[in-house]
Amino acid sequence: MPKLKVAIVGYGQIGPVHAQAYSNIEDVEIACIVDLDEERAKKAQQDYNIPRRLTSYDEMLKMDDIDIVSVCIPTYLHADLTIKAAKAGKHVFCEKPMAMKLEDADAMIEACDKAGVKLGLGFCRRFDGEWLKLRELVQQNAVGKPMVWRHMTAGEGAPTPWFFDKDLGGGPFMDGAVHNYDFGRYMFGEVKEVKADLHRLRSNTTAFDTGTVILYFESGNKSVLHWSWGLPRGSHGCYMHDIIGPEGAILFNNPAKDPLVVDDEKHGALYISKANREVIAVQYEKTRMYEEELRHFVNCIIQDKKPAVGGEEGFEALKIALAVLKAGETGEVVKIS
């Protein structure tokens, strides 16, 4: 079978990650790179021996031999490219978040369904060995119910201004925490309602950059998220998460001695801390999550299967993101319809 040919549109932050991942997948070849910055496109072309480079995705969509379009451009542009690519008969892998508006996300799904092409979404944490082991332990009821998933990420945020624009990128509670919204659904089920205490600490942002969110799941579980893109440039950020239940806690990066023989290159470990002070180390296999998500999408095209993370998952995560932003603006609890 001939290799599927992919065009990567956008070579800013995530485009190079896609290029590296595709270069390790035997069933595809990168046939075209599209970026407004010709120097960036030229570098991609040289690094991965890409035969064509363009500055217009409309020109790329005229190419009959392109099978897959990887959408790596700013969020507010996702819908236009995805819909045009679908109409041109291309399968679409779109980075998260899916869009800035639900009507745009719905139009993307409709266009791909009508054209009979696959639509995949870039929720890479669904292919992260650590997060998958966490979900497995939750499903095994390792710490009892109900559970609280706590997550904190703090840093200086993205280097380009559109990420901090409420209409273009939406800030961390749209662009970053969307991973938590999606994986929370994957782990706990549907979200019932949300609360949010959000702030604009930076002077150059129209989006919320710092705050705390609580997701209330229909299952009775909760997720407490703290995100900040408000740290000064050059600051050391932080990242942590755990799950606490009535029978113990699932911990990450625990300083307790690991009784397992762990190859740091291939394996990591989570820790179940029990009420009787017992600490159980649980090994997991590390994954190249970006490569695995794209490999899965490519295999879905070859085998004509529905992607595990597609338009519906993108739509639902966006619905939660918009509810969080509304809760941040109003100070009220927002129900997920």
Cα torsion 230, 205, 321, 158: sign: negative
pLDDT for 277 equals: 85
- Spatial neighbors of 51 by CB under 8 A, at least 6 apart, are 31, 32
- The answer to whether residues 265 and 156 belong to one domain is yes
Pairing verdict, β 191-199 and 334-335: antiparallel
The crossing angle, in degrees rounded to 10, of helices 78-87 and 102-115 is 10
Can you give the pTM of this predicted structure? 0.95
- Spatial neighbors of 251 by CB under 8 A, at least 6 apart, are 242, 270, 271, 272, 273
Range of the domain at 294: 4-124+290-308
Pairing verdict, β 222-228 and 238-245: unpaired
- The answer to whether residues 296 and 209 belong to one domain is no
pLDDT for 257 equals: 47
Distance in Å from the first CA to the final CA of the chain: 45
Residue 315 lies in a domain: no
Please tell me what DSSP assigns to residue 232: P
Q: In the chain, how many domains are there? A: 2
Give me the residues of the chain with pLDDT under 50, please: 255-257, 261
Query: Residue 99 maps to which CATH number?
Result: 3.40.50.720
- The answer to whether residues 31 and 75 belong to one domain is yes
- The answer to whether residues 11 and 145 belong to one domain is no
- The answer to whether residues 142 and 260 belong to one domain is yes
Residues recorded for the chain:
337
CA distance 100 to 82: 13
- The answer to whether residues 26 and 165 belong to one domain is no
DSSP string, 132-161: HHHHHHHHTTTT-SS-EEEEEEES---SSG
CA distance 197 to 325: 9
pLDDT for 13 equals: 94
Residue 314 lies in a domain: no
Residue 108 lies in a domain: yes
**Among 240, 285, 239, residue whose Cα is nearest residue 260:** 285
CA distance 291 to 298: 10
Per-residue pLDDT tens over the stretch 10-62: 999 999 999 999 999 999 999 999 999 999 999 999 999 999 999 999 999 99
- The answer to whether residues 221 and 295 belong to one domain is no
